[in-house]
């Protein structure tokens, strides 16, 4: 079940808040960079886009520079795995959710 949050209207708004948190540009999140920090920011943005909007996997991929739906699925799995095993990641994820008004 997807939950929409009235404070977050678009994937673009999520991208802007997450990029500000990581001190990177939205263009870097959307782009093809393989730098770890950018990949993590992108994966978090995809995960939250899936869980807090009604966008399909394809639509989310389109919002991230035309990524394939399988890339989005991989991002979802990666975030879930990190949330289950990494305390530092859990704290960062929580901070981002607070900034987005999701906590």
Residue-range domains of the chain with CATH: 11-99 (1.10.1750.10)
The confidence score (pLDDT) of residue 103 equals 80
Statement: residue 1 has pLDDT above 50: no
Q: Which residue has the higher pLDDT, 102 or 4?
A: 102
Least confident window among 5-9, 15-19, 84-88 = 5-9
pLDDT digits (tens, 9 = 90+) for 66-94: 999 999 999 999 999 999 999 999 999 99
- Residues in Cβ contact with 52 at an 8 Å cutoff, skipping those fewer than 6 apart: 2, 3, 4, 5, 8, 14, 100, 102
Task: State the burial class of residue 39 (Cβ atoms within 10 Å of its Cβ: 0-12, 13-18, 19+).
Answer: middle
């Amino acid at each position: 079940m997807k939950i929409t949050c009235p404070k977050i209207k678009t994937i673009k708004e999520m991208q802007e808040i997450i990029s500000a948190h990581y001190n990177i540009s939205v263009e870097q999140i959307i782009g093809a960079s393989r730098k770890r920090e950018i990949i993590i920011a992108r994966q978090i943005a995809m995960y939250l886009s899936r869980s807090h909007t009604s966008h399909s996997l394809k639509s989310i991929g389109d919002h991230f520079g035309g990524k394939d739906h399988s890339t989005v699925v991989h991002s979802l799995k990666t975030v879930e795995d990190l949330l289950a095993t990494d305390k530092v990641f859990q704290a960062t994820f929580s901070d981002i959710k607070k900034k987005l008004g999701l906590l």
